[in-house]
């Protein structure tokens, strides 16, 4: 039995989140159905990350098992079956047949996109935020986030997690193509965490709270203190890293 990983991208506005929810249209359901149709046997995939409704992915991973070798044109055929809102970008064979897309991931990186001038081509692809923002304060809050490891204040209630600790590797704001982006990379993320980090920082940079109050929100370990109310469609799962040598790329035959 071999274990395969597929790297996929998807438009989150087409789905009710990534994780399987019965017959509700989700990314995982679409992938399971496409794999089962192509391989003519029931296939259950397992995802590396759980994204909420509306959240996009430029690089998400799913693993599945199969006894037979993949068809020489597996990637092409799978893309032909999948809906237009999902694409398979790469296919890998796992070196370890027990490798897990979720638990073997070393880091994940997210990007949140914000635009200030009305643009119909960014609808459902970024957050429209035509309000004054102090960039200096945003840079301060992003740096402060790296000082902490306990992010209970930025986790939605009733989340099933054994710890609220996360190691933040990158946290910064940048301007890109007339947009403002927040980039954050960590070993793990909590449910709703990135959106809460973005929403709370925007509150601080908009003058609603002070930098000291931002620290108070983090240290309170109370999710009612943070701001989760930014749209999911501005958020992108951008990159997932695995141990070097753990995945071998499989390319379709010419």
For the question of residue 52 being annotated catalytic, the response is yes
Residue-level length of the chain: 254
Two tokens at 1? 């039995």
| CA proximity to 50, closest of 22, 8, 19, 74 | 19
Which among 52, 65, 104, 216 is annotated as catalytic?
Answer: 52
- Measured in Å, how far apart are the chain's first and last C-alpha atoms? 26
- Compute the radius of gyration of the chain from its Cα atoms: 19
DSSP string, the chain: -EEEEEEEEE-GGGSS-SS--TTS--HHHHHHHHHHHHHTS----EES----TT-EEEEEEEEEEESSPPPTTHHHHHHHHS-TTEEEEEEEEESSTT--TTTT--EEEEEEEEESS--GGGTTTSEE--S---HHHHHHHHHHHTT--B-GGGS-TT---S--B--EEEEEEEEETTEEEEEEEES---TTHHHHHHHHHHHHHTTSS-HHHHHHHHHHT-GGGS---S-GGGEEEEEEE--TTSEEEE----
| Catalytic residue ranges | 52
């Amino acid at each position: 039995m071999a274990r395969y990983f597929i790297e996929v991208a998807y438009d989150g506005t087409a789905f009710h989140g990534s994780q399987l929810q019965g017959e509700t249209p989700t990314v995982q359901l679409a992938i399971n159905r496409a794999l089962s149709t192509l391989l003519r046997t029931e296939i259950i995939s397992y995802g590396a990350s759980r994204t909420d409704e509306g959240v996009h992915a430029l690089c998400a991973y799913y693993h599945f098992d199969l006894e037979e070798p993949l068809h020489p044109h597996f990637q092409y055929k799978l893309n032909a079956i999948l809906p237009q809102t999902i694409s398979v970008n790469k296919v890998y064979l796992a070196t370890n047949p027990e490798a897990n897309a979720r638990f073997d991931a070393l880091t994940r990186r997210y990007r949140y996109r914000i635009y200030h001038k009305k643009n119909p081509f960014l609808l459902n692809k970024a957050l429209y935020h035509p309000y004054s923002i102090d960039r200096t304060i945003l840079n301060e809050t992003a740096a402060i986030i790296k000082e902490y490891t306990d992010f209970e204040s930025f986790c939605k209630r009733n989340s099933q997690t054994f710890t609220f600790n996360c190691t933040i590797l990158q946290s910064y704001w940048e301007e890109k193509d007339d947009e403002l982006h927040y980039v954050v990379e960590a070993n793990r993320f909590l449910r709703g965490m990135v959106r809460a980090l973005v929403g709370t920082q925007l509150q601080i940079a908009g003058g609603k709270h002070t930098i000291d109050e931002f620290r108070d929100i983090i240290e309170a370990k109370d999710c009612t203190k943070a701001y989760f109310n930014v749209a999911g469609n501005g958020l992108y799962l951008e990159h997932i890293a695995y141990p070097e040598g753990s995945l071998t790329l499989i390319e379709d035959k010419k």
